[in-house]
């Protein structure tokens, strides 16, 4: 009997100790959370914000006199100089994020003249708007902890890190989205029709000209959309590239394209009508669908180096360079 009482006392003591441990742990966690929240609140209160944007709808950059302007339209950023320009969205979303989370390293007390910081004729000017408020950021000389900056005509001088300069200092061509070239191989190219500017035409088929198709596919497989030569809008004269109608060599490629699809089908033989286990009545089947696609390339003049041809793809408004060796393979020359 005494042994049983001792066991009960020990169990009760363990329960009490466990409760104390749990309570202490919970308190320590609560205290740590409170201290962390207080530190974050203090850090936020001490932040030196130089814009008040929650979002921006237009951004204009002027870097050493080169001005670029962008607007947010239907949730996508466009280049104001040509809304059809293939703009890589991530560049502008990064700029917009920088302008919304805009914290300076420090604010100078009793600053000298703006000219002393390169702010009288700033190297960079960034103008941002949310549709209601417009803010101009003028950025001058480099300093040990970044760059000097002033906002509008406040006369206040801040120092900021290099992130804003890095993220907004791109040229327009840096922000272009290049085309994706199909993966041509000798096994998926079935026909190539080459139409020359002089009216000549050569047709190759995989059935009748297997060796020629293999050579052409080798050139197509080596071509990459990386050597970007320029962008042309509706008013650009393509004559200088030899890519206008009547002067370009046209390469029409027919190829097969495979895609995998997954179908879910009900098991007709299943006798289990319990809806709670309906997943057992469904099976998935992978299918490969093959379609026939057409693709067009335009081959123009040699560039100034004589080592590359100008190339345009499908309906793209971008011009690329393709090496003489690769283009000659594509033309089976």
- 206-228 pLDDT, tens digit per residue, is 999 999 999 999 999 999 999 99
Architecture per CATH, 49-175: Sandwich (2.60)
Positions of the chain with pLDDT lower than 70, given as ranges: 1-23, 27-46, 234-235, 263-283
Distance CA(158)–CA(49), nearest Å, equals 10
Distance CA(91)–CA(94), nearest Å, equals 5
Instruction: Enter the pTM of the model.
Output: 0.74
Query: With contact defined as beta carbons under 8 Å apart, do 129 and 99 qualify?
Result: no
pLDDT at 4: 59
H or E stretch at 42: helix 2-46
pLDDT at 152: 95
pLDDT at 145: 82
Contacts of residue 210, Cβ cutoff 8 Å, sequence gap at least 6? none
Distance CA(198)–CA(132), nearest Å, equals 58
State residue 264 phi and psi, 5-degree precision: -105, 125
Distance CA(121)–CA(62), nearest Å, equals 12
pLDDT at 87: 97
Tell me the three state secondary structure of residue 282.
strand
Distance CA(102)–CA(132), nearest Å, equals 18
Region(s) of the chain under CATH 2.60.40: 49-175, 189-263+283-330
Q: What angle do CA 89, 94, 100 make, to 5 degrees?
A: 130
pLDDT at 288: 81
Provide the CATH topology of domain 189-263+283-330: Immunoglobulin-like (2.60.40)
- 267-322 pLDDT, tens digit per residue, is 555 545 555 555 556 667 778 888 999 999 999 999 999 999 999 999 999 999 99
């Amino acid at each position: 009997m005494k042994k049983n009482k001792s066991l009960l006392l020990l169990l009760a003591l363990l329960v009490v100790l466990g409760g104390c441990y749990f309570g202490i742990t919970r308190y320590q966690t609560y205290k740590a959370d409170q201290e962390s929240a207080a530190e974050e609140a203090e850090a936020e209160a001490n932040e030196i914000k130089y814009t008040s944007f929650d979002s921006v709808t237009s951004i204009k950059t002027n870097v050493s006199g080169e001005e670029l302007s962008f607007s947010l339209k239907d949730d996508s950023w466009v280049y104001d100089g040509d809304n059809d320009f293939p703009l890589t969205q991530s560049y502008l979303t990064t700029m917009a994020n920088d302008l919304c989370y805009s914290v300076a390293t420090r604010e100078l007390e009793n600053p000298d003249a703006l000219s002393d910081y390169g702010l009288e004729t700033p190297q960079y000017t960034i103008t941002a708007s949310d549709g209601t408020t417009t803010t101009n950021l003028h950025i001058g000389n480099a300093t040990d902890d970044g760059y000097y900056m002033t906002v509008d005509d406040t006369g206040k001088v801040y120092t900021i890190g290099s992130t804003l300069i890095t993220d907004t200092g791109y040229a327009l061509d840096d922000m272009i989205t290049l085309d994706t070239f199909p993966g041509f191989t000798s096994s998926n190219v079935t026909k190539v029709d080459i139409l020359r500017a002089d009216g000549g035409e050569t047709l190759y088929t995989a059935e009748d000209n297997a060796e020629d198709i293999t050579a052409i596919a080798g050139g197509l497989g080596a071509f990459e959309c990386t050597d970007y030569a320029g962008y042309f809008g509706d008013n650009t004269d393509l004559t200088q590239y030899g890519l206008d109608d009547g002067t370009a060599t046209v390469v029409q490629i027919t190829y097969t394209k495979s895609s995998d699809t997954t179908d879910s089908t009900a098991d007709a033989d299943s006798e289990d009508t319990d809806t709670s286990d309906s997943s057992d009545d469904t099976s998935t089947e992978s299918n490969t669908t093959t379609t026939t696609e057409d693709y067009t390339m335009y081959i123009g003049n040699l560039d100034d180096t004589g080592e590359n041809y100008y190339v345009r793809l499908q309906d793209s408004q971008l011009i690329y360079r393709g090496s003489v060796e690769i283009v000659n393979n594509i033309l089976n020359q």
